[in-house]
Chain A
């Protein structure tokens, strides 16, 4: 079971988008940045998806501080491909930030890549 937490301004929308995909072996829950950082460190969660205006500030702030930049990645304003996300996951990234006006476009790509990686 791969556990994804969502946080930031669009956390509810992101969680709903992931749920609608009904991916096998993926569990998603709405969280907050601080709780998510604690759970990721303790191994109680696997990935974090954060959203804000720029795709980097509120979405990643606390996570960058507590998890280190090696575990974090922001797509900023670009929409990645599933291969790009897979490569990032392969590099050990667990925390992804993106713009709240691109939730529809980015969330499915990232969630599918996470599901493929977990399988």
Chain B
């Protein structure tokens, strides 16, 4: 089985983009930098809240740039670049976090798309060069990084179970765990060509949503009964308390709706890139796209959407800046569409619907606290399962490229980062350590101190 993966990897890690694909990446980067310059959307969920002060003129462009850079740098170099190098598939962290920064940085409107396009060109041409250079080194750490895909794909399957356990306790979590395990085994037996975790993940996410919605409905009924017993006074007071949220949210929604055509263009571009199968939206997806499993990739990214809709909706409504990739729904749609023209059309329509529905979604979420809770637990569970998977996969990669010495260097760098108070984001520390370790091993080879492990 590992032979299969390496064989597939040898062909797929070559980032052979066609000319239209290269131009699409460059044009989309120009557009995303422009949108970020106008403070209409940024990719980094952490930067979005700071856009409100920027939009309202309470903070400067350079201060906002500093925030954006500080919150994004680790994800670009630690997550985006290593993932793109090891899979040969582009990802949003590598493309859109830098265009966030470049867009906000640009003092002039025209400069933003120029810088964005320049970054797109750097990615398209630079990554290709770095990719083939690294593959020619005596210690090929990029091929070794393919080792990460198996733990990532299989452990990711469990994220709904972790979320259910945290939110609804051990019993329900345990039941979900058993159900998922049975489904994974059944899928492997019955449909060997389908990604084993696909059905399990679907059922897990549906169970979580069902638990959350039923809890919210029960609670609302209880509150209504209580209110009926107490008279109407409390109800009026609650409505009064809601007012600041409502006015802030509706101002933001109006601002975003005013720029609907630009958002439709953005949606079209992101969807097109996904349709071309050169972009993987989530952490696990790039590996599936690299293997050519587009329906598996679509499923994984579709379930991931539930963890992000409430986050993106509330930060967008609170800040007045939307997400560069919207609710991330355009990824799975893009992977599955048969033609680029269809992708352009669907992407534009999906974004239009998202922006128009934003304030309605905000209102609904306001009434479903457990569902918002679930989304937070889902995101926590995604990073929890990926933390183990990425660390384990990185050590497997270290073993593949350098045996015990590789494990010592990569594991050592990871532990050192922990001891220093996590200078590099934990999620990104291990892949970054693999790249550093790979370079160190090559240097040791040149110094005649290390003989590459032959696989």
* Partner pick for A77 among B48, B50, B52, B74, CB 8 A cutoff: B74
The answer for the CA separation of A99 and B71 in the assembled complex, in Å, is 10
Q: Among B174-182, B205-213, B365-373, which stretch is in contact with chain A? A: B365-373
Scan residues 19-64 of chain A and give those whose CB is less than 8 A from a CB of chain B.
Answer: 32-35, 37-38, 41-42, 52-58, 60-62, 64
Shortest Cβ distance from B67 into A: residue: A56
The answer for the CA separation of A70 and B369 in the assembled complex, in Å, is 27
Tally of contacts, chain A with chain B, CB under 8 A? 114
Least Cβ–Cβ distance between B172 and chain A, in angstroms: 16
* Partner pick for A56 among B46, B314, B366, CB 8 A cutoff: B46
Least Cβ–Cβ distance between B221 and chain A, in angstroms: 19
Inter-chain contact B380/A9, CB cutoff 8 Å: yes
Shortest Cβ distance from A39 into B: residue: B241
The answer for the CA separation of A37 and B315 in the assembled complex, in Å, is 14
Inter-chain contact B372/A32, CB cutoff 8 Å: yes
Scan residues 121-141 of chain B and give those whose CB is less than 8 A from a CB of chain A.
Answer: none
Supposing A41-B244, A54-B45 touch, asked if A62 and B383 sit within 8 A by C-beta, the answer is no
Inter-chain contact A79/B311, CB cutoff 8 Å: no
- In the complex, whether B49 has a CB less than 8 A from a CB of chain A is yes
Scan residues 175-223 of chain B and give those whose CB is less than 8 A from a CB of chain A.
Answer: none
Scan residues 363-421 of chain B and give those whose CB is less than 8 A from a CB of chain A.
Answer: 366, 369, 372-373, 376, 379-380, 383, 421
Inter-chain contact B248/A58, CB cutoff 8 Å: no
The answer for the CA separation of A11 and B281 in the assembled complex, in Å, is 27
Shortest Cβ distance from A52 into B: residue: B46
Least Cβ–Cβ distance between B179 and chain A, in angstroms: 24
Supposing A12-B166, A32-B372, A76-B71 touch, asked if A66 and B46 sit within 8 A by C-beta, the answer is no
The answer for the CA separation of A61 and B376 in the assembled complex, in Å, is 13
Inter-chain contact A56/B50, CB cutoff 8 Å: yes
Supposing A9-B376, A62-B314 touch, asked if A102 and B422 sit within 8 A by C-beta, the answer is yes
The answer for the CA separation of A66 and B362 in the assembled complex, in Å, is 14
The answer for the CA separation of A52 and B425 in the assembled complex, in Å, is 12
Supposing A54-B71, A57-B47, A61-B48 touch, asked if A101 and B422 sit within 8 A by C-beta, the answer is yes
Supposing A42-B241, A57-B311 touch, asked if A101 and B318 sit within 8 A by C-beta, the answer is no
- In the complex, whether A81 has a CB less than 8 A from a CB of chain B is no
* Partner pick for A57 among B44, B52, B58, B372, CB 8 A cutoff: B44
User: Which B residues touch A77, using CB under 8 A?
Assistant: 70, 74, 422-423, 425
Inter-chain contact A58/B376, CB cutoff 8 Å: yes
User: Which A residues touch B59, using CB under 8 A?
Assistant: 69
- In the complex, whether B245 has a CB less than 8 A from a CB of chain A is yes
